[in-house]
Amino acid sequence: MSSAPKTQLTARFLDPFTYLTLLSVVGVFACLVFSPIFMRSLVSKTIQVDPDIPEQLAPIQLKKEPIGALRIDVNAAIPENHWVTYEIQLKDQQGQVIASGIKQAWRESGSWSEEGESGIWTEDDLVGGLDVRPTKSEPITIVLDVLEYSDISGKEIDQPVPFEISVVNGAVDTRYLWTGILGATFLAFLALLVTPFSGKVIIDKSVGDSDISGRGILGGTNNLVRVSVNIKSDEHSPRSLFVLLVINDGNGEQLYSKSHSVHLSFKKSEGGKVTGANGKLSSFFILEPRSSYGFHVEVTPDATVDRTTLIVREHCKTLFPVEVTTLKSIQ
């Protein structure tokens, strides 16, 4: 004996990992878009620094921000074919160095000539800086010191070096956010690709005909079963075929019998000639109790069918809410 089939739309079997990866993409992208909101400019000025005479800026009241770090960007505005080595120091109110960095900055140019063509090239590496994550709110002082200043020949220059200084608090290094977006997007793509094939394969059979059958032990409470029927047909196929799916219990009693219309997608050659067609049916079931169940498929009209494949999986997950038919065999 068996109870009447019951079909309902349900989201119980959605794959949470897929939605977590999609949510992480949205979350990281939101951080990228809204991170500038937390940035606050503290200093933006140009100063002149003499070699071996450190220049100390006015103290800044540093506040601990919930997101981001203190960012100090220094751009050496030196002429072409000059080199300068400078140090950036960050000191607390007791004069202790809490962070420092040394930058070897340079700007070079020249001319080139090759195969009758010529031009001018310029290259530089001028910007240095520090990113510091404060642990508390306190006054801090920025000190800039020119350690060495020379031209391209190595001749030392005893002249002030102009520097453009920018200091912001709450800065976020967006390079890592872009990396996070790419990584999360890749995981989301994999999840979207793999979820339709999730679960354990119980039956996987193919025949060069329109009728196919298979039997296996599966089912149980809250165990989603996906029955997939893949059809390959020739160039004379109609726009759609009918797939009769029959499910029997271990005693041979029929639990389910329904004909489904399957629309075909046609393959064409480079010249536009139809060479064949493919169709797929996916149906979802809860089979209770766990036992032996038989599956039988008939495709009509069968004249154009070249191959039919029956795949039955259990413990499946879905990307979207799906219609699930519950079949109960009363033994």
pLDDT in tens, 251-265: 889 999 999 999 999
Q: Do domains 6-13+198-328 and 40-165 have the same CATH topology?
A: yes
d(CA 165, CA 167): 7
Sequence-distant (6+) residues with CB within 8 A of 252 are 294
Cβ(229)–Cβ(284) under 8 Å? no
**What percentage of the chain carries pLDDT values higher than 70?**
98
Burial class of residue 141 (count of CB atoms within 10 Å of its CB; 0-12, 13-18, 19+): middle
Residue 230 has pLDDT above 90, yes or no: yes
Q: Containing H/E element for 177? A: helix 174-194
**Mean pLDDT of the region 269-282:** 89
d(CA 174, CA 182): 12
Region of 29 on the Ramachandran plot (φ > 0 left; ψ -120 to 50 alpha; else beta): alpha
d(CA 180, CA 100): 28
Q: How far is CA 139 from CA 28, 72, 93, in A?
A: 32, 15, 6
SS3 label, residue 38:
helix
d(CA 248, CA 254): 4
d(CA 179, CA 192): 20
d(CA 7, CA 141): 71
Helices (H) and strands (E) in the chain, counts: 2, 21
Model pLDDT for residues 181-221, shown as the tens digit of each residue: 888 889 888 888 888 889 999 999 999 999 999 999 999 98
Domain positions in the chain: 6-13+198-328, 40-165
Model pLDDT for residues 115-173, shown as the tens digit of each residue: 778 888 889 999 998 888 877 778 889 999 999 999 988 889 999 999 999 998 877 77
Q: Give 8's strand partners.
A: 324
Q: How far is CA 152 from CA 16, 51, 246, in A?
A: 61, 17, 85
The CATH number given to 6-13+198-328 is 2.60.120
**Which of 163, 172, 87 has the alpha carbon at shortest distance from 131?**
172
Model pLDDT for residues 72-102, shown as the tens digit of each residue: 999 999 999 999 999 999 998 888 898 899 9
Q: How far is CA 188 from CA 9, 32, 107, 193, in A?
A: 25, 18, 44, 8
**Mean pLDDT of the region 294-305:** 94
The predicted structure's pLDDT at residue 331: 61
Task: Report CA torsion sign: 287, 288, 289, 293.
Answer: negative
The CATH number given to 40-165 is 2.60.120
| Residue positions counted in the chain | 331
Structure tokens at 80: 């072409």
d(CA 41, CA 127): 18
The predicted structure's pLDDT at residue 206: 95
Check whether the bond before 301 is cis (ω within 30° of 0): yes
d(CA 227, CA 255): 15
d(CA 129, CA 47): 15
d(CA 308, CA 295): 13
pTM of structure:
0.64
